[in-house]
Amino acid sequence: MAADLFADDPGADQVLAIIGDPATPDGCATLLGAAQEAIELGLLVVITSSAGLSGFCATLHAEHPRVGVTLIRAPANLDGLRAARAYATATPGAFCEIVLDAAGIGRTPVMAVAEPAADGTFPLGPADVVLVSGMAGLGDLACAAALAGRASALAVIAPPGPEDPRLAAYLAQLRAAGTRVSRKKADPADPGQVAAAVRSLERGLGPVTAVVHAASAGPIEGCAALPESTMRAHVMTQRARLTTLLGAVAMERLRLLVTFGSVSARYGMPAGTCGALASGLLAEQASQLATGPRCQALHVDWAPWADQEPAPGAWLYRLEKAGHWPISWMEFHRARLPAPEGAAALQTPLSAPVLGVLRVGPSGQTGQPLALTEYVPAPSHT
């Protein structure tokens, strides 16, 4: 079908890749092979129906700014390919993303701040149990705990191995504050261990009604030297872990599925090819798996500073939800003492905390989640 619409010219300086499911081994191989060929030739056009390739393409362009990259998201049918043909060109040194609607009209997705409604309701309450998996740092766990902050219980699946004293101390603080918390260890790659851990957690806390899952960081490797087997293994692992986790809970009871990835999945990041692709595909996978009658999926693109270890007493975490249910808006606030240059830009004293606000909501034209970060002086607390 594609061969009838797009001529194969061995002498062309533009690489065309038509990607069906980028999460399959063939999809991974085709995508990476096309990107690496484009590094040599200078131009790349990717046509796909997947919403998870923005970060991969943006990362390629960030690593090789001279390469022109055009990403076209089109319906997965013959009409979609026909419509994409009109946009299938790349400009040297430019990155362009185009989303085609059902009529074949192409638009460039934009980020737009989604203002929360004043009368929003929080989706979880005292009867809910939040299952947490894949959390590797205090910031991750703090966000999950905030979701459980309305008296919901927190069920944590921890990886095998030695205890992380920081996480253990944080869980102890939550218990001391009155949050019902339980933790079990399980290998996230072993369905049997995960299922047993979930059953044990549910016996103590009740049925799971919300899941919070974070993708793990990918290998640090530039696209040009990245082995296809490495990228494929990371993508497959991330997908399998979410599938395994959700396979252990009753999806008909699930009300909320939150996945955490990286902002590299939206904006790209040099040497972050694997993480950008896996995070983008995780968001897409979650939206496809949230099939319960009341389940809402939300993907949060995590900012790089969220993984930094907080200094004692220097950081304050807060995750909020506003707007009408189903979810339309979430915020993650992180307060810190600013660097001198940051304090000067904000015209605030060095002793005053700065609030980093990671806003998540629907974008203006695509309806996909967005992540915007802004820094403002934090309000004082007495």
Q: Which of 53, 61, 64 is nearest to 98 (CA)?
A: 53
250 and 178 belong to one structural domain = yes
Three-state DSSP string of 142-169: HHHHHHCCCCCEEEEEECCCCCCHHHHH
| 24 and 159 assigned to the same domain | no
3-state secondary structure of 277: helix
Domain closes at, from 310, 345, 367: 310
Query: Does residue 142 sit within a domain?
Result: yes
Q: Per the domain annotation, does 343 fall within a domain?
A: no
Domain-embedded: residue 242: yes
Whether 224 maps to a domain, the answer reads: yes
CATH code of residue 161: 3.40.50.720
Decide if 374 is inside a domain. no
Domain co-membership, 88 together with 182: no
| Domain end residue (candidates: 310, 327, 359) | 310
Domain that holds residue 101: 2-107
pLDDT at 150: 58
Considering the domain architecture, whether residues 295 and 153 belong to the same structural domain is answered as yes
Cβ 272 vs Cβ 231: under 8 Å: no
Do both 38 and 184 map to the same domain? no
Pairing of strands 330-336, 296-302: unpaired
Q: Are residues 251 and 284 in the same domain?
A: yes
pLDDT of the residue at 234: 94
Q: 133 and 84, same structural domain? A: no
Angle at 323 between CA 174 and CA 360, to 5 degrees: 70
Picking from 244, 107, 230, the residue whose alpha carbon sits closest to that of residue 186 is 244
DSSP string, 44-109: EEEEES-S--HHHHHHHHHH-TTSEEEEEE--SSHHHHHHHHTT----TT-EEEEEE-TTS-EE--
Q: Which pLDDT score is estimated for 37?
A: 96
Distance CA 91, CA 272 (A): 23
Domain assignment present for 195 = yes
Phi, psi values for residue 341, rounded to 5° = -65, -35
- Same domain for 86 and 138? no
- Say whether both 294 and 149 belong to one domain: yes
pTM of the full structure: 0.79
What is the residue-level pLDDT of the chain in tens, covering all 382 positions? 555 566 665 656 799 999 999 999 999 999 999 999 999 999 999 999 998 999 899 999 989 999 999 999 999 889 999 999 999 999 999 999 999 988 899 998 865 555 554 555 566 778 889 999 987 666 666 666 666 655 578 899 988 888 778 788 878 888 887 888 899 999 999 999 999 999 999 999 999 999 999 888 788 888 999 999 999 999 999 999 999 999 999 998 998 888 888 777 777 878 889 989 999 999 899 988 887 677 888 777 765 544 444 443 344 444 444 444 445 555 555 555 556 655 555 555 555 555 555 555 544 444 444 444 555 454 443 3
> Six-digit token pair at 162?
């030695």
Indicate if 250 and 153 belong to the same structural domain.
Answer: yes
Instruction: Identify the pLDDT of residue 215.
Output: 83
pLDDT at position 354 is 54
Rounded CA gap, 371 and 24, in Å? 27
Co-location of 142 and 101 in the same domain: no
Is 44 within the bounds of a domain? yes
Instruction: Mark which of 107, 137, 165 sits at the end of a domain.
Output: 107
Closest CA to 246 of 295, 280, 204: 295
Q: Is residue 366 part of a domain?
A: no
- Shared domain check, 144 and 268: yes
Looking at the 3D structure of the chain, how many domains does it have? 2
Strand boundaries in the chain, DSSP class E: 14-19, 43-48, 68-73, 95-100, 106-107, 129-133, 153-158, 181-185, 210-214, 256-262, 296-302, 316-321, 330-336, 354-362, 369-377
